[in-house]
Amino acid sequence: MDSLPVALAMLGLAIGVSNIGETLPRPVYALLSGLNAATVGIIGLAAVQLAQKAITDKLTRILVFLGAAAGLLYNALWYFPLLMMIAGAIAVIHDFRWLHPAVKWVVGLPKRIMGRETNKESEPEAQQSDHEIELSQQPQTTASQPTTARPPSTKSTRQRLPATSQDIMTDTASSANNAKQAEANAEAETEDGVSRTVPASHNLAINMTWKSGLALIMLFLASFTAVMILRGVLPRERNPLLFRLFSNLYLAGTIIFGGGPVVIPLLREYVVAEGWVSPRDFLIGLALIQGFPGPNFNFAVYLGALAAKNGGYHPAAGAVLGYLGIFLPGLVTMHGTVGVWGAIRGWRWVKSALRGVNAAAVGLIYTAVYRLWQIGWIDDGFTSGASLADDPWWVVVTAGSYVGGCWFGVSPPVACVFGAALGLIRYAVVM
């Protein structure tokens, strides 16, 4: 795997960072702050670009905004996956009109229950009076009912009539619906005019049928459920740090949806908030990993090694668990989905759910931008970091990183190098 050399480099970086003392020289802090400022600009650009792809209508625009807003307001291990599940359900309900009455019925259920309790005493009297009125009117209605001959059936007459303008409009509408359906099927096969057909060189070596793919997905879900239950049931003294580390990263690897930048807020919440890695070491690793090739998922290897080292275990054990926890869910579900996707790719509710989940996941990237912005400036005495907005220099570095990548095609490693250089320049000018 291409990410394996980068993962080994992350292990070495974690070992080196773990041997750093409590304080660093101030020029190093300035360099790292410049890297962090440039990283915020890079992630901000990624959020905007992914949002442009995820937003296809008003609903997805709302879901992106609500996902970002909800992510800013609260943090918890269960919170991010719940947000994405709710967004998927909202998209399905929005796209399927026949679900709207059921939703209205559920929403109005408390009001109806309160109304029934209020009118509970008056119901017997009302039913009795209605019954008396019905009995008194029944003979009169039967006697006065006229006996008229039924009109002759017009079915055969209608069949002999020539096609009317209404029939022509109905046929035209049916043809238009068929054309729209064909167009939708064509759009399912292409995206932005590019065929989604996977080249033969990129096909998986394992030929997965839908049955084997479904079995693999069910096996993964069973293992995921078992890991989460054990994590919640076992007492802390019988729940070692390495297992809790693996379960947290296993959860992060399962719910990541929408691109690599989504992993940043999840890893900070699932590792740093647990107290396993200090905020300073998290920022150091985040700043340096931007200069490495490969996905941001390799950051979990760095955090896993540091967490194990800080907990008294060998860092290699944490690196392996971090690697497996962050990559294994995606690999397993990818192989399983390859077999199942051919059978469910035409299901409307699947497309709707994925559309909503993806929109909420993109919104969470803006959460990462905000939280990193709030702690990106590290200096002597800043144990948890300070806001980059406290100094206009870092604002300029962040904006320059964003503009460079958006308008001039500057790659993330180059932007990080410029950010580090600008951090050192600031230190030289201030000092």
Render pLDDT for 356-407 as a digit per residue (tens, 0 to 9): 998 998 898 898 889 889 888 988 777 678 899 999 999 999 999 999 999 9
- What percent of the chain is predicted at pLDDT more than 90? 27
The reported pLDDT for the residue numbered 121 is 56
CA distance linking residue 114 with residue 382, whole number of Å: 55
Q: What is the DSSP string of 188-252?
A: HHEETTEE-PPPGGGS-SS---HHHHHHHHHHHHHHHHHHHHHHHHS-GGGS-HHHHHHHHHHHH
Beta bridge partners of 195: 190
Show Cβ contacts of residue 327 under 8 Å, excluding neighbours closer than 6 positions: 3, 253, 297
Region 276-284: mean pLDDT is 85
Residue 68: name the closest of 368, 296, 286 by CA.
Answer: 368
> Does residue 303 register a pLDDT over 90?
yes
The reported pLDDT for the residue numbered 274 is 86
Tell me the per-residue pLDDT of 50-64, one tens digit each, with 9 for 90 and over.
899 999 999 999 999
CA distance linking residue 65 with residue 59, whole number of Å: 10
**In the chain, where the domains are located:** 27-100+208-430
Pinpoint the alpha helices (H) of 55-122.
58-73, 79-95, 100-107, 109-118
Structure tokens at 263: 């992993």
Residues 44/321, Cβ–Cβ less than 8 Å: no
Task: Count the neighbouring beta carbons within 10 Å of the beta carbon of residue 242.
Answer: 18
How does 294-321 read in b/e, with b if 16+ C-beta sit within 10 Å?
A: bbbbbbbbbbbbbbbbbbebebbbbbbb
Region 114-139: mean pLDDT is 57
Structure tokens at 190: 């292409």
Max CA distance (Å), the chain: 108
CA distance linking residue 250 with residue 224, whole number of Å: 8
> Does residue 156 register a pLDDT over 80?
no
Region 324-353: mean pLDDT is 81
The reported pLDDT for the residue numbered 63 is 95
Residue 263: name the closest of 367, 356, 337 by CA.
Answer: 367
Confidence label for 261 from pLDDT (cuts 50, 70 and 90): low
Confidence label for 245 from pLDDT (cuts 50, 70 and 90): very high
Show Cβ contacts of residue 421 under 8 Å, excluding neighbours closer than 6 positions: 34
The reported pLDDT for the residue numbered 389 is 94
Confidence label for 169 from pLDDT (cuts 50, 70 and 90): very low
The reported pLDDT for the residue numbered 187 is 44
Tell me the per-residue pLDDT of 403-414, one tens digit each, with 9 for 90 and over.
999 999 998 889
Structure tokens at 33: 């702050």
Structure tokens at 162: 């020539």
Region 230-243: mean pLDDT is 82
The reported pLDDT for the residue numbered 259 is 54
| Upper half-sphere CA count for residue 375 (Cβ side, 13 Å) | 19
Show Cβ contacts of residue 283 under 8 Å, excluding neighbours closer than 6 positions: 32, 36, 375, 376, 378, 385
Matching residue, tokens 């017009």: 154
What mean pLDDT, rounded, does the chain reach?
A: 77
Residue 373: name the closest of 359, 362, 360, 387 by CA.
Answer: 387
Q: For 234-361, where are the E strands, in sequence order?
A: none
Structure tokens at 387: 């806001």
The reported pLDDT for the residue numbered 159 is 43
The reported pLDDT for the residue numbered 246 is 93
| Upper half-sphere CA count for residue 300 (Cβ side, 13 Å) | 33
Confidence label for 189 from pLDDT (cuts 50, 70 and 90): very low
Confidence label for 7 from pLDDT (cuts 50, 70 and 90): confident
The reported pLDDT for the residue numbered 147 is 45
